[in-house]
Amino acid sequence: MPESLALPNDFEWGFATAAYQIEGAVKEGGRGPSIWDTYCHLEPSRTNGANGDVACDHYHRYDEDFDLLTKYGAKAYRFSLSWSRIIPLGGRLDPVNEEGIEFYSKLIDALLRRGITPWVTLYHWDLPQALHDRYGGWLNVEEVQLDFERYARLCFERFGDRVQNWITINEPWIQAIYGYATGSNAPGRSSINKHSTEGNTATEPWLAGKAQIMSHARAVAVYSRDFRPSQKGQIGISLNGDYYEPWDSNEPRDKEAAERRMEFHIGWFANPIFLKKDYPESMKKQLGERLPALTPADFAILNAGETDFYGMNYYTSQFARHLDGPVPETDYLGAIHEHQENKDGSPVGEESGLAWLRSCPDMFRKHLARVYGLYGKPIYITENGCPCPGEENMTCEEAVNDPFRIRYFDSHLDSISKAITQDGVVVKGYFAWALLDNLEWSDGYGPRFGVTFTDYTTLKRTPKKSALVLKDMFAARQRVKVAA
């Protein structure tokens, strides 16, 4: 294998999951309901009739699942904690659920016994329902950041002796936009979604965004001041974001649209968090007073701690075409149209099992270079994966043969190698999404992202070929010395 396709010998890799998508046991062990419990039980269903009541039953089967990690050769595992399993009512003055603490403590110990490094995400979309009921959850910027700070501190206190890798929030863009603009995710608030009965798409997502920025900042400040010196760990955030190229490469307005889209997607969060700067100018210009200001007091908190790494969730890329005419108040994309083909009709990439996800490894490399160039932090790929074409309709025997997923992983790992060796990007780890087929949020149990087939009737796990091939992919790349 050429040196340009090598990975550092200390490159960390493994698999990723999220609590609500796999745990189940939603009414066991003292857990309180989250906004996803409520959303999944709305009538008529907003999730194709699916819910996380049982999911993959990981709550009772985590030892079995961790044996799979060992079988697959993984040295790291990224998972999230359920806030409402630890503090059922969520608030800073509410009781702690010791049974929930004990569950995650046993889970962490089970990983360590197997020589697997735990990577813990504090928040993966499942806000305690009690906080949403009490004060509006992410819409109450001042209250929720204080409750998140207490939750984060508790986790650092109870688990930080064994956990050295923390992610505060997973994909705040998704939480803000899908939760409060389109209403297609919990809590389902929107003024443009016919199924939503509450919400204001023009204002609420921007409030939810600021609430998450400040919640992250408070958690980082607490960790930096009170825990990092003794625990010697690191803390970051996982941001999603596609890479965009102009629909018409000869049209300056499309070039501007592509950059503006990435500012609305990533700069919204990354500018304040990593650069300690205000929102991108494009956002302030379009949104005006609807974008809640970051005050001197906010920047004092943002400056009180250092975010150590950029967690990148990457799946696909798109083309951006400028929007002519007036921009609706409900626009959240940055006054652009998104396309999967450019002006010449060339597709952005090979189709997967989901309409929105194309395999675009070359644009992934550009994405890595852009993010590292802007923010200068070490990057961990905290999610990357895909469902195969037609996989949701396959039997287990058919689905375990997944050449599309293998090609996807292989080509994206090549892009990481090239970004490191040729572009000078610092990429330190990779987590394939996902360890198991699981509840894919509003899509229910249709799309299968897992490297392990889950039979949702019997809950039997069956490894797919991709799970066993990934170890060889990394071994081959890490045997090659990276060029100096």
Q: Which residues are catalytic?
A: 171, 383
Q: At what angle do helices 204-222 and 172-180 cross, to 10 degrees?
A: 150
Residue showing tokens 């102009």: 246
Q: How far apart are CA 373 and CA 358, in angstroms?
A: 25
What 3-state class would DSSP assign to 461? strand
Q: At what angle do helices 465-478 and 58-72 cross, to 10 degrees?
A: 40
C-alpha distances out from residue 115 to 108, 189, 309, Å:
11, 42, 23
Q: The tokens of 386 are what?
A: 């895909």
Q: What is the dihedral of CA 287, 288, 292, 295, to 10 degrees?
A: 140
Q: Which residues pair with 383 in a beta bridge?
A: 313
Q: How far apart are CA 410 and CA 417, in angstroms?
A: 11
* Torsion angles phi and psi, residue 122, rounded to 5: -75, -35
Q: How far apart are CA 254 and CA 317, in angstroms?
A: 15
If phi > 0 it is left, if psi is from -120 to 50 it is alpha, else beta; for residue 16 that is beta
Q: The tokens of 100 are what?
A: 């929930």
Residue showing tokens 């993984």: 74
Q: The tokens of 42 are what?
A: 């709305």
Contacts of 392 (CB under 8 A, 6+ apart): 353, 446, 447, 448
Element (H, E) at 78: strand 76-80
Degrees (nearest 5) of the Cα angle 468, 440, 458? 65
Residue pair 435/62 in contact (Cβ under 8 Å)? The answer is no
User: Which amino acid is it at 274?
Assistant: F
